[in-house]
Structure 1
Amino acid sequence: MHVLKRRNFLKRGLQMAALPAISPIFHYESPQKTSQNLKLSLNAYSFNAALSSGSLQLEDLFDYCAKEGFAAVDLTAYYIPDYPEVPSDELLFGIKKNAHHRGLHISGTGVRNNFTLGDTDLRKREIALVKQWVVAAAKLGAPVLRVFAGPRLKAGENWEEKAALVIAACKECAGFAAQHGVIVAMQNHNEFVQSAEQVNYIMDGVNEEWFGLVLDIGSYSQHDPYDEISKNIQHAVNWQLKENVNHFGTQKPVDLKRLMAVIRESDYQGYLPIETLGPGDPFEKVSTFLAQVRGALG
């Protein structure tokens, strides 16, 4: 099914679910495009060092997000105790409750995986990992589970052959995720996937209702990043808004005005998670970038 139809299917399902159960027959008409429902989230990877060392606890991160007025947090699974093992329901539900008490949704979570592995058994383990965290994401209330395709090609490897493995794995995971109400979303991470053309190749190959893209604005290195974003935005179900874009291999500050114009011209609705990287105090970096993004959003 064409990706636009896939997005309309998801939107239509949410809207129909909100209607009173008067009749089993519904008539749906696409609404006139009005202002977009865009909300800001924080990608927890912005605090990677502090969360990984334990100097910052999830509750402290939630407190910070609430203070700064974020609508949600994108909680990468690395920071949940016992990762890559899925923790107890008690722990997952506790995280969900703690976020809720601070007025936060969990806009997504994500795992570290590799679907390009040539060894069938090893690749099955990666698929099993994703499926386990699909279930965990559902328990957290996270609508999106971020996955990777895999690392960059090694010498002598064929991209299309590896892409076939990625597509098959993503199809299987998306089919499983549909049973749990979670969208599996591949991030374009400038590793195996480096261009908008490659993103579209995999998206068209998977072609599943419950599969989408975590659109990483900082990971297009081969062409103009804003043109690349425009070519992929129809697949986006979540984002990583970064301070810099990769402009033909050179890091340049993101032109937020231009980026927001691209987003406004699309039909994207939902969360825009921001992520800051590099040296410096993450609290200061996030607060500064958040103010810039809010200004650009108007």
Structure 2
Amino acid sequence: MLMLSVNRRQLLGIALATPFVRSLSASGTRKPLLKLSCNLYTFNSLLTKGEMTLPQVIDYCADLGFQAVDPTGYYFPGYPQPPAASYINQIKRQAFLLGLDISGTGVRNNFAVADAGKRKADVEHIKQWVEVAAQLDAPVMRVFAGQQEKGYPEAEIDKWLIENLRECAEQAGRFGVILAVQNHRDFLDTSEHLIRVLKAVDSPWLAAHLDIGGFRTSDPYTDIANAIPFAVNWQIKENVFFNDRETPTDLARLFSIIRQQGYRGYLPLETLGSGDPREKMKAFLARVRVALGKDS
């Protein structure tokens, strides 16, 4: 049975000296500390159409009063190739002068495909971007499990995923970056499955990127609570899903659950759907701040 009182800082700290699975029995002693970051996928439509640049989006996040940004790798020049070191340094300098931390970054990959060559290419892609994350001073890099390929049993895909994540986590550890696998409405569709894979990899450099909209179950809040001890990064969204029924996120309930688990760290926000992303994020941030109260 999972001990849900453990906070994720203790989880990772203890895991440096003991096996990852055994660290779940630790108990939380520190008060929760919640800081707000902006996941820049929010601005995907503006960035991909060239209506805003990455530096302009970072400026906007500073104007909104965020404490950090999470710039997805897709928006760096030349992606999927690593950007020039000079550009990485430019972004890092800009964020620092604006008083913003870089809470994480992320890349695309799919470890749930049968083609071993494609999986190997994605492993190498992640390894390259771990170095980018380290230069960017991003402590976390988000990766995916991928969409399950038809005709292959879950157990076989689990083996691919665990093997690939373990190799990537070894690289992440060499550069001091925590790899975080997102529950992205894909192969890892429940907290039980996500946790099972993390425990099988058994690395202090692999954790969960907790997407609150990624659990399409009968009670997503239960899945969220179960996964919090493993989380180092988030996507806090406007809506959650009870099975396939989209429902506005109960922010008060969500933050109560997060605090009860003793989580300490950033909560990146992300808005999706139609409308101006700038206005949507501004409005969502205001709601989040009200729900968080004095902690925001």
The answer, yes or no, to whether TM exceeds 0.5 is yes
Is the Cα contact below 8 Å between 2:229 and 2:261 reproduced in 1?
A: yes
Of stretches 50-59 and 77-86 in structure 1, the one that deviates more from structure 2 is 50-59
> What is the alpha-carbon distance in structure 1 between the residues aligned to residue 8 and residue 258 of structure 2?
19
User: Which residue is equivalent to 2:172?
Assistant: 177
Deviation at 1:12, TM superposition (A): 7.0
Q: Encode CA deviations 1:136-169: one digit per residue, 9 max, x unaligned.
A: 0000110000000011342x22111101111111
Q: Amino acid of the residue matched to residue 216 of structure 1? A: D
1:253 aligns with 2:255: no
CA contact (8 A) 1:153 1:192 kept: no
**Equivalent residue number for residue 135 of structure 2:** 139
| DSSP 3-state at the match of 1:38 | strand
Q: Is the 8 A contact 1:41 1:274 kept in 2?
A: yes
Corresponding residue number in structure 2 for 1:187: 182
**Counterpart position of 1:267:** 262
The amino acid across from 2:161 in the alignment is V
Q: Which has the higher contact order (CA 8 A, sep 6+)?
A: 2
**Aligned pair count?**
281
After TM superposition, give the deviation of residue 231 of structure 1 in Å: 1.0
**Which structure 2 residues correspond to residues 74-89 of structure 1 after superposition, within 5 A?**
74-89=70-85
Structure 1 segment 1-298 matched on structure 2, within 5 A: 7-8=9-10, 10-11=12-13, 32-34=29-31, 36-154=32-150, 156-298=151-293
Question: 1:296: how far off?
Answer: 0.9
CA separation of 1:153/1:46 partners in 2, compared to 1, >3 Å: closer, same or farther? same
Q: Distance in 2 between matches of 1:297 and 1:37?
A: 11
Kept in 2: contact 1:6–1:209 (CA 8 A) = no
**Given the two structures, how large is their TM-score scaled by the length of structure 2?**
0.90
Aligned letter for 1:121? Answer: G
Unaligned runs of 5+ residues in structure 2 are: 17-26
Give the CA deviation at 1:222.
2.2
Letter aligned with residue 189 of structure 1:
H
Secondary structure of 1:179 counterpart: helix
Question: What 5-or-longer segments of structure 1 have no aligned partner?
Answer: 15-29
The one-letter code sitting in structure 2 at the alignment partner of 1:74 is D
The TM-score, its normalising length taken from structure 1, stands at 0.90
Deviation at 1:9, TM superposition (A): 6.0
Query: Which has the greater radius of gyration?
Result: 1
Deviation at 1:282, TM superposition (A): 0.8
Task: For 2:148, give the aligned amino acid.
Answer: R
CA contact (8 A) 1:42 1:275 kept: yes
Contact 2:114 2:149 in 1 (8 A): no
Provide the rounded CA distance (Å) in 1 between the counterparts of 2:192 and 2:215: 11
CA contact (8 A) 1:195 1:223 kept: no
